[in-house]
C-alpha cells in the first residue's frame, strides 16, 4: 500500500512538473488552412515572430472540419498548453463549451465572441474591419474608371458583411454616385474554398461594370484575384498583404493585424489579461498595404486622401458605421 | 435583361457546366457498366492536384493534363480493384476514395511546395488559355449571332471543346458500337453477357478506364484552365452535382449535356442576383438558385419527368455462377 502511495505521489509530481515545463502556447488555425495567404497565415506569422523573438516553441493544430473543434481545444488544454489562441468565429461556441472545464487555461478567440462575464478565462479579440475597409473603399472608388466597385465575400455572415459595409461607405464618401455591387460565395464553410466560383463571380461583376473588386473570402479570394488579373481589372486583397500575388494588378490589401493579436497573446503567456479587446485603426489593428508591388497604382493624391481620412477616424472626427451593431448598412443593401 | 447580359451568363454557364459535363459523362460510363461511382469528386480532385503540380514543374499544360489523367486513372484502378476484383461495396469504396483524395492532395502539395496545400500560380503555357475561334472578332458586330459566337461559343479553352465533342462520341460509343452494347449489358444483365462469352470484369474495368480519363480532363480543366493552380477541396462538391445531373439525364449521354448545362445555368444565374431580380421582379436568394439542381433532381427521381431508372445490375459486384 505504501509502495502504491509512493508511486502515485511520484506520478502526480511528475505530471505536475511536466505540466509546468510544457506551459507553451498553442494556436488553432481555422478551416481556411494555415497557409491561406490571408487570415490564418497572418496568425501563423504572429506566432512565428513570437517564437523567433523568445526562442520558445508553440503547439499548432489545423482544423479540417467543424466536428473537430471542441476535441482539439480539449486535447490542447489537457496537454497543458496555455494560452490557447484560436482564429475564426467558428471557435466561439466550442470555447464557451470547454472553457469552464479548464479554469486555469486562458483561451483567446480572434474574430469570435465569448461572453467575458460567464467565462473569465476567455479573451475575445475583435477588429474594426469596417475602418480598414473604409480606407480601401476610398482608394477603390478613386482608382475606378467605370464608377462601379464591387465586393466578394466568402461565407455570408455579419463579420463579412461588415467588410462590405465599410468598403461601400468609403467608396461613397469619395464618389457619392459610385455603384456598389456585393456578392457572397455561399452560406456554408465550403464558401471559403471555392476559387472557381470566386473567379466566375469576379467575371460576373466585371460584366456589371465593376473594375475594382475587394475580396474578403479566404481561399476563394485567390480565385477572385486571379480572375481580376486575367480580366485586366484591379482587385483588393484582405487580411494579409496580398499585393505580391499579382504585382501591379492588386490595388492594395486591407490589413487585419491578426499577427499582432497572436503575438501579443503569446507574449503575455499565463498572465494574459482577458479584458475584451477591439483592435481598431488607432491601435494599428487594421490598415491598408503599400509596397513596391502597388506603388505604381496608388497616386499621391489617393494616398493623401486616404491618410487624411485615417487621421480623422483615429481622432474620432469621422465615425464609420459598424454593420454588426444593428445589422444595417447605410451605404449598401444586402 | 439585355442580350449582352444573357450572352455573358451563357458564357459563364459553359465555363461552370463543363466540369459537370465531363464528370457526368464519366459517371455515365461507369454506372452504365454496373459500377456506381460516388468517387467522381475524389478523382477530379486528384487530377486537379496532379495537373497543377506537373504543369508548374514542366511549364506545359499538356503534360499537366497527362499527369491529371494518370492520377485519376490510378484512383479508378483502386476503385475497380476494391469493387470489381474483390467484390467490395461500390459506394463505400467510392466514399473512401473521396476521403483519400481530400487528404492526399493537400499532403502532397504541401510537401512539395509548402504553401498550405496550394500549388504555385501557373502562368503562360502552363495554363490552357482561352482560344478565339476563327472570325470571332470579325463576326462580333453581326446582330444576334455575332455576340453568341464571340462570347458563348468562342473564347474557351480547348478542354471545353473536347468536353462538348465527348458528348456525341459517348452516345455513339454506347449506343452504336459492339463495345457499347456489351458495356450496357454488363450493367443490365451481366449473367447474359457472361453466357455470351464476354468477360464482365473486363468490361467494367474498361468502363472505369474511360471514367478515369474523363475525370482527369475535368480536374485538369479546373486547375489549369479555369484556375491557375490547385487549392484544397477546390472541386467543392461538383462530383456530387454531376451525379445528380446523371440521374436527371436518366443515364443517357445527350440529355447529360442538357442536364449539366441547365445546372451550370442555375449556378451562373446565382452569380447575377441583379438580373434575376430584374426579370422576375421578385428578390430571389442566390442560395435558392444554388439549391435548384438538387430540387430538380428530387423531382426527377420522384418521377415527375418520366421514370429515371438506374442500370439494373448497378451497385452489385458480379459473381460468376458455379
- What CATH number did the domain enclosing A303 receive? 3.40.50.2300
Q: Which of A102, A127, A152 is the last residue of a domain?
A: A127
Residue A18 has pLDDT above 80, yes or no: no
- Going from N- to C-terminal start, the domains of chain B cover 3-126+147-237
| Mean pLDDT, residues A270-289 | 90
% of chain B at pLDDT higher than 70: 99
Q: Are residues A162 and A184 in the same domain?
A: yes
pLDDT of amino acid A8: 53
In a domain, A223, yes or no: yes
Interchain CB distance below 8 Å, A35 and B118:
yes
Q: Are residues A145 and A231 in the same domain?
A: yes
Across the strands, what pairs with A155?
A186
Q: Which chain A residues are within 8 Å of B272, Cβ to Cβ? A: 204, 208
Q: Are residues A134 and A186 in the same domain?
A: yes
Interchain CB distance below 8 Å, B16 and A181:
no
Q: Which chain B residues are within 8 Å of A184, Cβ to Cβ? A: 286
In a domain, A272, yes or no: no
- Distance between CA atoms of residues B93 and B83, nearest Å: 7
- Biggest alpha carbon–alpha carbon distance for chain A: 85
CA distance to partner chain B, nearest, from residue A224 (Å): 10
Does residue B228 sit in helix, strand or coil?
A: coil
Label residue A294 by pLDDT band (50, 70, 90): very high
Q: Which of A127, A160, A191 is the last residue of a domain?
A: A127
Joined together, the cell numbers standing for residue B314 give 448497378
Domain span including residue A250: 130-255+286-326
Q: Count structural domains, chain A.
A: 2
Instruction: Give the Å distances, CA to CA, from A186 to A64, B11, B289, B296.
Output: 19, 21, 11, 20
Summarize pLDDT for A210-238 with one digit per residue, the tens. Answer: 999 999 998 899 999 999 999 999 999 99
Summarize pLDDT for A85-131 with one digit per residue, the tens. Answer: 999 888 999 999 999 999 999 999 999 889 888 999 999 999 999 99
Residue with cell 463549451: A97
Label residue A9 by pLDDT band (50, 70, 90): low
Q: Are residues A123 and A103 in the same domain?
A: yes
Residues in Cβ contact with A211 at an 8 Å cutoff, skipping those fewer than 6 apart: A144, A145, A146, A148, A149, A233, A234
Q: Of A23-27, A125-129, B77-81, which gets the smallest average pLDDT? A: A23-27
B98, B218, B231, B264: best mutation site toward chain A, by most A Cβ within 10 Å? B231
In a domain, A56, yes or no: yes
- Distance between CA atoms of residues B28 and A275, nearest Å: 59
Q: Are residues A43 and A110 in the same domain?
A: yes
CA distance to partner chain A, nearest, from residue B234 (Å): 5
pLDDT of amino acid B304: 73
pLDDT of amino acid B154: 86
Joined together, the cell numbers standing for residue B268 give 451562373
A207, A210, A222, A231: best mutation site toward chain B, by most B Cβ within 10 Å? A207
Q: Are residues A19 and A98 in the same domain?
A: yes
Does residue A254 sit in helix, strand or coil?
A: strand
Find out whether B277 and B284 touch, Cβ atoms under 8 Å: yes
How far is residue A29 CA from its own chain's centroid?
A: 11
Q: Are residues A217 and A249 in the same domain?
A: yes
Interface of A with B in 28-57 (CB under 8 A): 33-37, 41
% of chain A at pLDDT higher than 70: 93
Across the strands, what pairs with A124?
A109
pLDDT of amino acid A15: 46
In this predicted model, which residue has the larger pLDDT, B141 or A41? Answer: A41
Residue of A nearest to B7 (CA): A207
- pTM score, whole prediction: 0.85
Amino acid at each position: 500500500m505504501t509502495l502504491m502511495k509512493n508511486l502515485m505521489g511520484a506520478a502526480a509530481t511528475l505530471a505536475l512538473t511536466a505540466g509546468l515545463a510544457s506551459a507553451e502556447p498553442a494556436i488553432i488555425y481555422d478551416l481556411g488552412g494555415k497557409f491561406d495567404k490571408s487570415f490564418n497565415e497572418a496568425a501563423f506569422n504572429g506566432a512565428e515572430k513570437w517564437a523567433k523573438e523568445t526562442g520558445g516553441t508553440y503547439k499548432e493544430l489545423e482544423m479540417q472540419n467543424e466536428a473537430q473543434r471542441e476535441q482539439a481545444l480539449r486535447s490542447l488544454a489537457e496537454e497543458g498548453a496555455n494560452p490557447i489562441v484560436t482564429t475564426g468565429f467558428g471557435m466561439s461556441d466550442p470555447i464557451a463549451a470547454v472553457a469552464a472545464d479548464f479554469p486555469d487555461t486562458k483561451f483567446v478567440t480572434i474574430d469570435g465572441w465569448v461572453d467575458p462575464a460567464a467565462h473569465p478565462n476567455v479573451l475575445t479579440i475583435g477588429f474594426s474591419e469596417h475602418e480598414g475597409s473604409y480606407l480601401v473603399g476610398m482608394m477603390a472608388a478613386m482608382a475606378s474608371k467605370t464608377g462601379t466597385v464591387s465586393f466578394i465575400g466568402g461565407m455570408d455572415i455579419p463579420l463579412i458583411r461588415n467588410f462590405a459595409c465599410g468598403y461601400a461607405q468609403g467608396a461613397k464618401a469619395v464618389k457619392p454616385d459610385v455603384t456598389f455591387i456585393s456578392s457572397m460565395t455561399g452560406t456554408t464553410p465550403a464558401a471559403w474554398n471555392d476559387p472557381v466560383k470566386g473567379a466566375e463571380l469576379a467575371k460576373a461583376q466585371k460584366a456589371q461594370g465593376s473594375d475594382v473588386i475587394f475580396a474578403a473570402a479566404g481561399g476563394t479570394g485567390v480565385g477572385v484575384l486571379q480572375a481580376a488579373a486575367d480580366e485586366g481589372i484591379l482587385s483588393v486583397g484582405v487580411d494579409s498583404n496580398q499585393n505580391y500575388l499579382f504585382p501591379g494588378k492588386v490595388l492594395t490589401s486591407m490589413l487585419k493585424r491578426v499577427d499582432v493579436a497572436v503575438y501579443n497573446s503569446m507574449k503575455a503567456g499565463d498572465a494574459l489579461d482577458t479584458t475584451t479587446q477591439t483592435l481598431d485603426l488607432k491601435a494599428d489593428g487594421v490598415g491598408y498595404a503599400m509596397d513596391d508591388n502597388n506603388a505604381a497604382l496608388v497616386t499621391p493624391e489617393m494616398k493623401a486622401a486616404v491618410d487624411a481620412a485615417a487621421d480623422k477616424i483615429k481622432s474620432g472626427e469621422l465615425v464609420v458605421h459598424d454593420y454588426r451593431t444593428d445589422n444595417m448598412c447605410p451605404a449598401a443593401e444586402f | 435583361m439585355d442580350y449582352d447580359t444573357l450572352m455573358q451568363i451563357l458564357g459563364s454557364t459553359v465555363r461552370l457546366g463543363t466540369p459537370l459535363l465531363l464528370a457526368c459523362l464519366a459517371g455515365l460510363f461507369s454506372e452504365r457498366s454496373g459500377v456506381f461511382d460516388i468517387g467522381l469528386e475524389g478523382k477530379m480532385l486528384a487530377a486537379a492536384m496532379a495537373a497543377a503540380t506537373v504543369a508548374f514543374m514542366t511549364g506545359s499544360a499538356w503534360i499537366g493534363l497527362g499527369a491529371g489523367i494518370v492520377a485519376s486513372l490510378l484512383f479508378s484502378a483502386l476503385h475497380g480493384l476494391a469493387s470489381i476484383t474483390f467484390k467490395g461495396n461500390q459506394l463505400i469504396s467510392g466514399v473512401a476514395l473521396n476521403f483519400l483524395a481530400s487528404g492526399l492532395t493537400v499532403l502532397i502539395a504541401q510537401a512539395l511546395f509548402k504553401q498550405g496545400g496550394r500549388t504555385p500560380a501557373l502562368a503562360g503555357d502552363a495554363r490552357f488559355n482561352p482560344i478565339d475561334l476563327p472570325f470571332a472578332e470579325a463576326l462580333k458586330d453581326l446582330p444576334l449571332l455575332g455576340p453568341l459566337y464571340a462570347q458563348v461559343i468562342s473564347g474557351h479553352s480547348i478542354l471545353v471543346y473536347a468536353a462538348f465533342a465527348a458528348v456525341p462520341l459517348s452516345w455513339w460509343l454506347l449506343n452504336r458500337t459492339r463495345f457499347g452494347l456489351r458495356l450496357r449489358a454488363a450493367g443490365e444483365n451481366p449473367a447474359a453477357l457472361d453466357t455470351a462469352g464476354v468477360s464482365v470484369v473486363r468490361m467494367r474495368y474498361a468502363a472505369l478506364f474511360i471514367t478515369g480519363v474523363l475525370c482527369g480532363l475535368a480536374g485538369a480543366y479546373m486547375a489549369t484552365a479555369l484556375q491557375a493552380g490547385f487549392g484544397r477541396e477546390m472541386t467543392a462538391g461538383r462530383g456530387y452535382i454531376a451525379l445528380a445531373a446523371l440521374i436527371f439525364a436518366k443515364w443517357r449521354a445527350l440529355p447529360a449535356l442538357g442536364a449539366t448545362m441547365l445546372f451550370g445555368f442555375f449556378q451562373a444565374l446565382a452569380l447575377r442576383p441583379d438580373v434575376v431580380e430584374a426579370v422576375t421582379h421578385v428578390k430571389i436568394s442566390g442560395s435558392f438558385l444554388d439549391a435548384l439542381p438538387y430540387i430538380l433532381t428530387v423531382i426527377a427521381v420522384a418521377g415527375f419527368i418520366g421514370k429515371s431508372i438506374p442500370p439494373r445490375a448497378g451497385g452489385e459486384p458480379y459473381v460468376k455462377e458455379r
